[in-house]
Structure 1
Amino acid sequence: MPIPEDVTGEEIDGGVRQELLSLPKTLAEDVAKNLVMVARLIDEDPEGAYGYSRVALRLASRVAAVREAAGFAAYANQKYGEALAEFRAARRMTGNVDLWPVMADCERGLGRPEKALDMAGAPEVQKLDKAGQVEMRLVVAGARRDMGQLDAAIVTLQSSELASSSVQPWSARLRYAYADALLEAGRKDEAREWFGKAVEADRDGSTDASDRLAELDGVEFVDALDEDEDEGEGGGPVRGSGSGGSEG
């Protein structure tokens, strides 16, 4: 797959660069460039990221960072079985537990929420850092919702991290998941409050909390161009909608 001229491979994380030192120099550079493309595209063009991850995997399947990148690219494309296999391979190579929550979420994606709950009770969870433990809590809440246990999902999300007024990297997603669960339970006023708190914490636009909040408030969004076209065709304004959350 073509690599843009502005990609040098030097953009990768220092830890990944260290892992690539085990490869011949030219090969390491090629792998690095493909990993840069995975990181660059994974949010906006997951299919493209997946393609580059497969190239990197073909070149250096024995490098843990490559297996991890391939796992995330597969995960972004909802190829959960493939993602889980890659994450397991990366974990075997490093012994690192950081991937435990996303591995559990892959089990959810494969329709095995019970397995995700089993993983939540494993010793590996105690070794996770705070961010990892919050991710695990989100996965558990999602698994509970998958199983129709909505009240249990809501209780799972009620934690010191949720109650904290300080904004952390996980705050927006945690508040969003809680709001979404409350809304599904019919607790609209509480849901609105928590979508609002998610908006306050969402500094990088990682959720569509603002859209969900506007929807609850009955706000309608009209694109100026669409409005002009509709007026010409005799149509009315089109109501905007959010893309929906992925936490539950």
Structure 2
Amino acid sequence: MPIPEDVTGDEIDKDVRQELQSLPKTLAEDVAKNLVMVARLIDEDPEGAYGYSRVALRLASRVAAVREAAGFAAYANQKYAEALAEFRAARRMTGSVELWPVMADCERGLGRPEKALDMAGATEVHKLDKAGQVEMRLVAAGARRDMGQLDAAIVTLQSPELASHSVQPWTARLRYAYAEALLAADRLDEAREWFAKAVEADRDGSTDASDRLAELDGVEFVDALDENQNEDAGGNATDVTRPDAAEDASETGGASGGEDARDGDV
């Protein structure tokens, strides 16, 4: 696959660069460039990222960072069995538990929420850092929802991290997941409150909490292009609000809902 001229391979972080030092110089450079492309494309073009990850995997399958990148690229394309296999391989190579939450979420994606819950109770969870433990909590709550255990999902998310007023990298997603769980349980007023709290913490737009809050408030946003077309046709611009919009809003849930690790970085 073609590599843009502006990609040198030097963009990768120093830990990955150190891993690639076990390879011949030219090969290491080629692998690094493909890993840069995976990172560059994974959010906006998951299929493209997957293609580059396969090239890197073909060149250096014995490098843990390559297996991990291949896992995340497969995960982004909902190829959960493949992702799980790559994550397991990376974990065997490094001995790290860092990938434990996303491995559990792959089990959810494969329709095995019970397995995800077993992993949430494993000793590996105690070895995770705070961010990893929060991700594991998100996955466990998602698994509960997969199984129709809405009240248990809500309780799973209730934690010191959720109650804290300080904003951490995981705060917006944790509050969002809690709001989603409350909404699934038809606790609308509480759900609105927590979507609002998620908006307050979402400094980088990692969730669509503002849109979900607008839906609950009955606000409908009209596309500017449609509005201009209406004006060109001689009509008045469409009002940006509609009182009954919240009734038409559809709730997301299940394995692809906002409470799981697949909606965010692990």
TM-score by length of 2: 0.89
- The separation in 2 between residues aligned to 1:67 and 1:215, in whole angstroms, is 40
Question: TM-score, normalised on structure 1?
Answer: 0.95
Are 2:148 and 1:148 aligned?
yes
Match of 1:12 in 2: 12
CA distance in 2, matches of 1:97, 1:80: 18
In the alignment, structure 1 residue 179 sits paired with structure 2 residue 179: yes
The answer (yes or no) to whether the contact 1:208–1:243 under 8 Å persists in 2 is no
Alignment partner, residue 27 of structure 1 = 27
Is residue 212–residue 242 contact of structure 1 (8 Å, CA) maintained in 2?
no
Equivalence map 1:106-185=2 (5 Å): 106-185=106-185
AA partner of residue 58 (structure 2): R
Report SS of the residue matched to 2:10. Answer: coil
Report % sequence identity: 86
Q: Distance in 2 between matches of 1:176 and 1:110?
A: 23
Provide Cα deviations, 1:34-62, integer angstroms capped at 9, x if missing partner: 00000001011111100000000000000
Shift of residue 238, structure 1, vs aligned partner: 8.4
AA partner of residue 170 (structure 1): W
Partner amino acid for 2:45?
D
Q: Which whole-Å CA distance do the structure 1 matches of 2:234 and 2:157 have between them?
A: 47
- State how far apart, in whole Å, the 1-side matches of 2:46 and 2:85 are: 18
For 1:7 and 1:67, the matched residues in 2 are separated by 21
State the partner residue of 1:78.
78
- How many Å apart are 1:220 and its aligned residue? 1.7
Sort the Cα spacing of 1:65 and 1:243 in 2 relative to 1 into closer, same or farther, 3 A. farther
Does the residue aligned with 2:174 lie in a helix, a strand or coil?
helix
Could you tell me how far 1:190 is from its partner in structure 2? 0.6
| Matched AA of 1:127 | K
AA aligned opposite 1:101: P
Give CA deviations for 1:16-43 in whole Å, capped at 9, x if unaligned: 0000000000000000000000000101
Cα deviation for residue 224 of structure 1 reads 2.1
Q: Structure 2 CA distance, aligned partners of 1:82 and 1:124?
A: 22
Whole-Å separation in 1 of the counterparts to 2:74 and 2:224: 37
Matched with 1:247 is 259
Structure 1 residue matching 2:221: 3-state secondary structure: coil
Kept in 2, the 8 Å contact 1:175–1:195? The answer is yes
Q: What is the correspondence of 1:187-198 to structure 2 with a 5 Å cutoff?
A: 187-198=187-198
Distance 2:137 2:41 in 1: 27
CA contact (8 A) 1:227 1:237 kept: no
User: Deviation of residue 247 (structure 1)?
Assistant: 1.7
Counterpart CA distance in 2 for 1:242 and 1:200 is 23
Aligned to 2:49: 49
Q: Deviations over 1:54-92 (max 9, x none)?
A: 000000000000000000000000000000000000000
Shift in Å at residue 223 of structure 1?
A: 2.0
CA RMSD of aligned residues (A): 1.9
Deviation at 1:159, TM superposition (A): 0.3
1:15–1:242 distance in 2 versus 1, CA, 3 Å: farther
SS in 2 for 1:22: coil
Q: Could you say which structure has the greater relative contact order, defined with CA pairs below 8 angstroms and 6 or more residues apart?
A: 2
| In 2, Cα distance between equivalents of 1:194 and 1:26 | 51
Contact 1:104 1:116 in 2 (8 A): yes
